[in-house]
Amino acid sequence: MRRMKKYFSPLLSSLILCSGLAMAGQEIAVVQSIRVGPYEEAFEGLNSVCKDGIHRLVISGMNRSDVVEGIRKIAPDVILAIGMEALKTAKDIKDIPIVYLMVLDVEAVQSAGGNITGVSMNISQEKQLAAILKALPETKTIGLLYDPEMTGQYAKEALEACRQSNIRLLSKEIYNPRDVPSALSSMKGNIDVFWLLPDLTVVTPETVEILLLFSLENQIPVITFSEKYVELGALMSIGIDAFDIGVQAGEMAQEILAGRNVKVIPHADARSAVVAINIKIAKKLGINIPEDVIARAKKIE
């Protein structure tokens, strides 16, 4: 088994060495963008799979060249990059397999290099729609606003998921937040549910307030991507399970350590979702959500 290098401390003041060494001397470098709750949960998930030989480096405030040098000193068999900044830093290394996690911009990742694979923060639109229909089985028509430059691919996938489930998707392109009120108004009486995408053009503090007011006035539930909007008045969110994303990435790393070529391990979406439901909003909207859905959801009251 390989011994730990002695020259970390002056260069890598934020390096955290997890106890234990991998079998057969295998080493894993975990490069983490910053210390925030979801990233910590993701680390715990991957650490539950890759328990030994882990060297964790939290790079916040460090120079990119110092981080790369630190990784080189570890000489890992695989790199796990938690967050986009960690991936941007690690992707300059072309001769070591890299597994990313907690990254949203999948298209940018997939063109980053042949030694990279991993798990995005995206939950497939098909899985999201299935969760919507399980909670709201009477849904026939769903409304959606999107900026093609921001979430055009998501909207396309949502349209295909709806088509396969015989659900009508009433979608409108938005190029400026000022267009949101009129676009919402045109959907009044024509949709059963509004599906909010993580679109920076559509989602601003002002537009969220308008959307939630529209929801209450027209008895139209809002399904969103973030629990914070459920706390503000959306009916339900379908969010990521950061711990399980870590488990997924850890399983990919284990495949690589077992000898599988990173090039044949496909990029993957998050496989698990956490559903949060605002019980008070459900009552205000007169919606009876199936008991089995409520039992599995995080309840916000």
Which pLDDT score, from 0 to 100, does residue 17 have? 36
Task: Tell me whether residue 229 is in a domain.
Answer: yes
Which pLDDT score, from 0 to 100, does residue 107 have? 65
Same domain, 185 and 86: no
Same domain, 36 and 88: yes
Same domain, 112 and 216: no
Same domain, 175 and 280: yes
Successive 10-residue mean pLDDT values, the chain, 301 residues: 37 38 71 94 95 88 85 95 92 93 74 84 94 97 96 94 98 97 96 96 96 97 96 96 97 96 94 95 96 94 82
How many domains are there within the chain?
2
Same domain, 108 and 147: no
Which pLDDT score, from 0 to 100, does residue 61 have? 76
Same domain, 165 and 281: yes
Q: Provide the CA 251 distance to its chain's centre, in angstroms.
A: 17
Which pLDDT score, from 0 to 100, does residue 106 have? 61
Which pLDDT score, from 0 to 100, does residue 109 have? 65
Same domain, 143 and 109: no
- Alpha carbon of 200 to those of 84, 103, 146, 219: distances in Å? 17, 16, 9, 25
Same domain, 45 and 57: yes
Which pLDDT score, from 0 to 100, does residue 6 have? 36
Report the distance separating Cα 127 and Cα 116, nearest Å: 25
Which pLDDT score, from 0 to 100, does residue 13 have? 36
Same domain, 29 and 104: yes
CATH of the domain at 130: 3.40.50.2300
Task: Tell me whether residue 8 is in a domain.
Answer: no
Domain that holds residue 70: 15-121+242-271
Same domain, 78 and 145: no
Task: Tell me whether residue 220 is in a domain.
Answer: yes
Which pLDDT score, from 0 to 100, does residue 12 have? 40
- 87 and 111 in contact (C-beta within 8 Å)? no
Report the distance separating Cα 160 and Cα 179, nearest Å: 25
Which pLDDT score, from 0 to 100, does residue 11 have? 38
Same domain, 94 and 82: yes
Same domain, 27 and 146: no
